[in-house]
Amino acid sequence: MNPPELMDDLVDEILLRLPPDEPACLARASAVCKRWRRLLSDRAFLLRRRRRAPPPLLGFLHNLDDADHPDRFVPTTALPIPPPPPELHCGMALDCRHGCALLDAYPSRIDLVVWHPMTGHLLRRLPRPDVPYLFYYNAAVLCAAAAAGCDHLDCHEGPFRVVVVGTEEDNEAWATVYSSESDEWSPPTSARLARGPEFCVEGKPATLIGDSLYFALVFGIGVVKFDMKRHRLSLIDPPAELDDGFVLMPLDNDGVLGLAAVEDHSLLSVWLIDVSLDHGHGVANWEKCRVIELDSLLPNLDHSTQCYQLDLWRVPISSS
């Protein structure tokens, strides 16, 4: 006599204990039988797994253009991820969020393409936005329903938004938003944000917090905030102690923006700011929350080069 089958609840508990940092385990488990595949693709199971652990890093897109790094995508797990289409091999990776990757097929010409890493599908080649100046710009992609509380479990090929923010030499910033549903760009929003002759948006990935996107300026001279709900641009001053570039990052706390920067060549400092407060154009209240000694983590660090200092030409891709 065959033993009785385990109840679905027990199988769920077993599957939830598969290694969270190796999604290939889920793929193999889904091939066991139709029942396991149904359980693994159930929305309730996916939500429970998401609560137990954050989505794993599947790999990253880089913009290194040399013979040692011919592939634009570098995987970090055993799960096979389709590489970008051949026409994007020379493109620049700008962002990856909510299951979509954004690349500029021809940098400086703003030929933006949205690609779905999990399926390899080229979702959309965007029309060129009608903006006055296109030399210094950056862009971000996000789910169209992000502000409405979408959990991003199955919206990967659904409607999306692309936000482009640029800067001009006269300290003017502009922004425009693309909607995949209308296949159109919004009228540009602009604002004069006095900062000096080097007022240029940097090509590092933007950070999304709530209804706003945050873009770093070159040489760490500030952060441009674009409020997507009100279509308003504003400027946030960096920590007064910093005099070079930095990385922006979201934190688990709602409404808190993180910033990481290298100081004195060997110290990685992490700063926090509550962006739910309107800092306007005044001094922002950054708080240094942590300092990490890089020499203890990277004993062979070469202090004669700056290449290790927060290389942000890499766009991470997670299973979310």
Average pLDDT, the chain: 80
CA atoms within 13 A on the CB side of 47: 5
Question: Closest Cα to residue 237, out of 269, 291, 196?
Answer: 196
Question: Closest Cα to residue 244, out of 268, 225, 228, 224?
Answer: 268
What pLDDT was estimated at residue 309?
36
Domain ranges of the chain: 1-53, 58-318
Instruction: Tell me how long the chain is.
Output: 320
Would the pLDDT of 150 be above 90?
A: no
Would the pLDDT of 148 be above 90?
A: no
Which pLDDT tens digit goes with each residue over 15-35?
988 888 888 888 889 999 999
Q: Looking at beta carbons, which pairs linking 208-213 to residues 24 or more positions away fall under 8 Å?
A: 208/97, 208/140, 208/142, 208/146, 208/250, 209/250, 209/255, 209/256, 209/257, 209/275, 210/147, 210/254, 210/255, 210/275, 210/276, 211/147, 212/275, 213/140, 213/142, 213/163, 213/165
* Residue 111 three-state SS: coil
The angle that helices 8-16 and 43-52 make with each other, rounded to 10 degrees, is 40
The single-letter DSSP state of residue 2 is: P
DSSP alpha helix (H) spans, the chain: 8-16, 24-30, 34-40, 43-52, 294-297
Which pLDDT tens digit goes with each residue over 49-98?
888 877 778 888 877 766 666 677 788 888 777 777 777 777 788 998 88
Kindly report the pTM of this predicted structure: 0.83
Question: Closest Cα to residue 183, out of 110, 128, 230, 116?
Answer: 128
What pLDDT was estimated at residue 314?
46
Which pLDDT tens digit goes with each residue over 235-292?
998 888 887 788 898 876 678 899 998 887 778 889 999 887 765 554 568 999 888 8
What's the CA gap between 155 and 46, in Å, rounded?
13
Would the pLDDT of 316 be above 60?
A: no
CATH 2.120.10 fits 58-318, yes or no: yes
